[in-house]
Structure 1
Amino acid sequence: MTSVDTSWTDDSLRALDDRLVARIGEITAGELTQRRTQLARISPETAELADWLLDYLEGGKLLRPRFCFWGGVAALDREPTDAEVDALARYGVAIELVQAAALMHDDVIDHSPVRRGRPALHVRAASRHRDGALSGDAEGFGVAVAIVLGDLALSWAEQVAATVEGAPDALEAARAEFEALRTEVMSGQFLDVLHQAGGFGSAPDEEQAALSVIRWKTVPYTVLRPVRLGAALLGADAAALQTLSTWAIEVGTAFQLRDDLLSVVGDEDETGKPIGGDIVEGKRTVMLARARADADAEGTALLEDVVGRADAAREEIDRVHALLVSTGAVSSVAQDVREHAARGRVLLAQASTLSPRGRAGLAALAERATDVASLPA
Structure 2
Amino acid sequence: MPSADTSPVDARLHDLDERLATRLAEITRDELAERRRQLAVISPETAELADGLLDYLEGGKLLRPRFCFWGGVAALGPTEPTESQLRALARYGVAIELVQAAALMHDDVIDHSPMRRGRPALHVQASRCHRDGGLTGSADGFGTAVAIVLGDLALSWAEQIAATVEGEPRAVAAARCEFDALRTEVMAGQFLDILHQAGGYTSAADAEQAAFSVIRWKTVPYTVLRPVRIGAALMGGSEQALETLSEWSIEVGTAFQLRDDLLSVIGDQHETGKPIGGDILEGKRTVLLARTEAAASAEGRALLEAVVGRSGSSVQEIAAVHELMVSTGAVESVVQDVRQRAQHGRSLLADAAMLGPTGRAGLAALAALATEVEALTA
Give the TM-score, by structure 1 length: 0.98
Q: What secondary structure does 2:353 align onto?
A: coil
What CA distance in whole angstroms lies between the structure 1 residues aligned with 2:271 and 2:102? 22
Distance in 1 (alpha carbons) for counterparts of 2:195 and 2:129 = 32
Looking at structure 2, the residues matched to 96 and 370 of structure 1 have their Cα atoms a distance apart, in angstroms, of 20
* Aligned match of 1:367: 368
Q: Is the 8 A contact 2:220 2:250 kept in 1?
A: yes
Partner of 1:324: 325
Whole-angstrom CA distance in 1 between matches of 2:48 and 2:205:
47
> Helix, strand or coil for the counterpart of 2:344?
helix
- Which residue matches 2:257? 256
CA distance in 1, matches of 2:291, 2:234: 40
Asked if the contact 1:114/1:273 (under 8 Å) is kept, the reply is yes
Match in the other structure for 2:81: 80
Between Structure 1 and Structure 2, how many residues are aligned?
Answer: 373
Superposition deviation, residue 327 in structure 1: 0.4
Structure 1 position 299 matched with structure 2 position 300: yes
**TM-score normalised by structure 2 residue count:** 0.98
Question: Given that residues 2 and 13 in structure 2 are in contact (C-alpha distance below 8 angstroms), is that contact kept between their aligned partners in structure 1?
Answer: no
Secondary structure at the aligned position of 1:351 is classed as coil
| Cα distance in 2 between the residues matched to 1:324 and 1:75 | 41
Structure 1 segment 167-316 matched on structure 2, within 5 A: 167-316=168-317
Which amino acid is 1:271 matched to? T
- RMSD, matched Cα: 0.8
Does the C-alpha gap of structure 1 residues 360 and 293 become closer, same or farther in structure 2, counting only changes over 3 Å? same
Evaluate the alpha carbon distance shift between residue 167 and residue 114 of structure 1 in structure 2; reply closer, same or farther with a 3 A threshold: same
1:355 equivalent in structure 2: 356
Deviation at 1:7, TM superposition (A): 4.4
The equivalent residue for 1:57 is: 57
The structural deviation recorded for 1:376 is: 2.5
Per-residue deviation, residues 311-350 of structure 1 (Å, max 9, x unmatched): 1100000000000000000000000000000000000000
CA contact (8 A) 1:71 1:227 kept: yes
Question: Could you tell me whether the CA contact under 8 Å between 1:6 and 1:368 is conserved in 2?
Answer: no
- Shift of residue 117 of structure 1? 0.2
CA drift at 1:297: 1.1
Residue type of the alignment partner of 2:305: E
What is the identity, as a one-letter code, of the residue corresponding to 2:21? V
Q: Is the 8 A contact 1:194 1:200 kept in 2?
A: yes
Tell whether the 8 Å contact from 2:96 to 2:158 is kept in structure 1 after alignment: yes
CA distance in 2 between partners of 1:345 and 1:149 (Å): 38
Select between 89-98 and 7-16 the one with higher mean Cα deviation: 7-16
**1:157 matched to 2:158:** yes
Which residues of structure 1 form unaligned runs of 5+? none
Letter in 2 for 1:57: L
CA distance in 1, matches of 2:350, 2:310: 45
Query: What is the DSSP-based 3-state SS (H/G/I as helix, E as strand, rest coil) of the residue aligned with 1:275?
Result: coil
Distance across 1 between alignment mates of 2:137 and 2:98:
30
Specify the SS of the correspondent of 1:246: helix
Partners of 2:171 and 2:235 within 8 A in 1: yes
What SS class does the counterpart of residue 232 from structure 1 fall into?
Answer: helix
Aligned residue runs from structure 1 range 119-158, under 5 A: 119-158=120-159
1:162-210 superposed Cα distances (whole Å, 9 cap, x missing partner): 1110010000000000000000000000000000000000000000000
Q: Whole-Å Cα distance in 2 between the matches of residues 208 and 244 of structure 1? A: 24
Q: Where does structure 2 lack aligned partners over 5 or more consecutive residues?
A: none
**What amino acid is the match of 1:278?**
D
Q: Which position in structure 2 is the counterpart of 1:45?
A: 45
Aligned residue number for residue 12 of structure 1: 12
Cα pair 2:92 2:161 within 8 Å, conserved:
yes
CA contact (8 A) 2:255 2:371 kept: yes
Any conservation in 1 of the 2:3–2:11 contact (CA below 8 Å)?
A: no
Aligned residue identity for 1:47: A
Letter in 1 for 2:160: Q
Aligned residue identity for 1:55: D
- The residue that corresponds to 1:70 in the other structure is 70
For the residues of structure 2 that align with 1:162 and 1:208, how far apart are their CA atoms? 36
